[in-house]
Structure 1
């Protein structure tokens, strides 16, 4: 990821991270048997360097991260920062149709819904996708108190017969399906004279599942389908389906390769999400902002799901 220094230089480290880093610096001084009253010429030099390294890492992960240092072991200040980096994870919203990762803003994460589908029998696969980012992660598990979580991946047609590939996806005979609960086949416009085809595969997971960590894996939010009534229009029906996530709590636990764990939670909400139009041919793209009713009336919006990360 490329970052503009003019944008990064004014970003402040979270207070908790500052306290942890300064504590690591003090601990490093103790471990070298340096008297506490022996203040170096530039007493904040080391702390500033540690904060800069840790803050830069937090930006790479998207600003919402969990920091951890081992206790009861002797570490230098630099080792403490390295340990914090190695025991950190974050969330990023994922747009399957564009491959875009949207980082949280002000501890809010806004979900795209472009790859969702509502099946009366199999449920509402919302398209609200997220990825977990970090280093030295071994497993990921999650629980949610409304609905469920599903795993998804997108496969590309590389066969010599596009029509046969599409049929095999719909008929459930393609080996790439691997027991997927839903299959959504779609095209991405002409490519070298022919439409390129893809399929979004989704697996609904048990609440409290544990997966081996895959940095390419995406996870989504699932609900049972809402019964439609004859007086529902498309907009009302969509709002009702999305509102099923209001107030849900999603908790994600990460196990690192050394056996340690971290847990992070988010509370889901629904509302009017800001959009922008990047060109004349593509549709609306989310800005990552949650709008007031007044802003939505003036600027336009998509009704969708966002979360406050705790």
Structure 2
């Protein structure tokens, strides 16, 4: 009965999307290990109504190998049940999604690659370069998030909504309590089908490298460069100047550490790159949609793209 309870617990757990490929590799490793440990003359076990649950557990075990490293294998001959180690590894996992501030869309990683939109970027000569390349941390039972970058720095951003001229005035005058010392405030509006104007304010706070934040699933983080860094001069082409600022993140290492409510910590590292990111344009006129592909110059000559930042999750 204990094993069945473990299966019920694991049944509802889903792995972060960026680990799919690694999970498949782990499954292959498990199969090889089973072939080495199990006599080959044994007949296969008969199929029964618990077959699906067993396959779910096998998948969860493979996932546990990825998250817990050698922890699963160390339980052989040990006192802690393997299922407990797997469940703990999955419970202490987190992931990343890119956040498109213009649309509110969450963009899942594909094949351990995450592509960032930059529609909400702004280059402020006094406050610095806010790339608009945003990501969010996802997971359960997260208490805090810490992060640092090897080049550049990070900023925290959150979108708030309001209506009416008084609300807009309070945002511009920075008297609204939601401002809370924000370094950058960007106001925009969207008219609904009934002609009512919904107003938005994107607030940005520049962070120290190595900051620690209380976890908020609605908060996004973006890449930032200090004012005056990487300037090409007043006569530079605007597009070239923007690409030059974006390229300042090329090769940067982003390290994110999550602390869970029980005190356990997990750390992941992302390597940032810049390039021509493929986009498609839907027929509904909603604007470019990233495909997740990074194009060569030859491919970019024939396809739509936007120049921006992507990351390999390692």
Which range, TM-score by smaller chain?
0.7 to 0.9
1:41–1:236 distance in 2 versus 1, CA, 3 Å: same
1:180–1:233 distance in 2 versus 1, CA, 3 Å: same
Alpha-carbon separation, structure 1, partners of 2:182 and 2:22: 43
Secondary structure in structure 2 of the residue aligned to 1:247: coil
1:194 Cα deviation after fit: 2.2
| Aligned equivalent of 1:208, options 198, 210, 221 | 210
Alpha-carbon separation, structure 1, partners of 2:210 and 2:22: 35
Alpha-carbon separation, structure 2, partners of 1:281 and 1:170: 31
Whether contact under 8 Å (2:67, 2:90) holds in the other structure is no
Q: Which runs of 5+ in 1 are unaligned?
A: 1-9, 26-35, 59-64
| Aligned equivalent of 2:287, options 259, 283, 286 | 283
1:110 Cα deviation after fit: 0.6
Matched, 1:49 2:49: no
Secondary structure in structure 2 of the residue aligned to 1:164: helix
- The RMSD of aligned alpha carbons is 3.3
Runs of 4+ in 1 over 6 A off after TM superposition: 20-23, 43-47, 70-73
1:308–1:40 distance in 2 versus 1, CA, 3 Å: same
Alpha-carbon separation, structure 1, partners of 2:223 and 2:288: 21
Secondary structure in structure 2 of the residue aligned to 1:90: strand
1:18–1:75 distance in 2 versus 1, CA, 3 Å: farther
Deviations 1:107-157 (A, max 9, x none): 211101011111101011111111111222221100101111111110000
Equivalent residues in 2 for 1:52-201, closer than 5 Å:
52-53=59-60, 66-67=67-68, 74-158=79-163, 162-201=164-203
Moved more, 108-117 or 275-284: 275-284
Alpha-carbon separation, structure 1, partners of 2:306 and 2:279: 7
Alpha-carbon separation, structure 2, partners of 1:280 and 1:15: 39
| Match in the other structure for 1:13 | 23
| Match in the other structure for 2:251 | 247
Alpha-carbon separation, structure 1, partners of 2:88 and 2:46: 23
1:298–1:89 distance in 2 versus 1, CA, 3 Å: same
| Match in the other structure for 1:5 | none
1:147–1:12 distance in 2 versus 1, CA, 3 Å: closer
Alpha-carbon separation, structure 2, partners of 1:108 and 1:238: 23
1:300 Cα deviation after fit: 1.7
1:189–1:40 distance in 2 versus 1, CA, 3 Å: farther
Q: Which runs of 5+ in 2 are unaligned?
A: 1-19
1:258 Cα deviation after fit: 2.1
Moved more, 194-203 or 231-240: 231-240
| Match in the other structure for 2:263 | 259
Moved more, 196-205 or 102-111: 102-111
Alpha-carbon separation, structure 1, partners of 2:123 and 2:289: 21
Deviations 1:148-190 (A, max 9, x none): 11111100004xxx22211211111111101111101011234
Alpha-carbon separation, structure 2, partners of 1:84 and 1:40: 32
Alpha-carbon separation, structure 1, partners of 2:236 and 2:27: 49
> How many residues were matched structurally?
283
1:307–1:11 distance in 2 versus 1, CA, 3 Å: closer
Whether contact under 8 Å (1:67, 1:88) holds in the other structure is no
1:74 Cα deviation after fit: 4.0
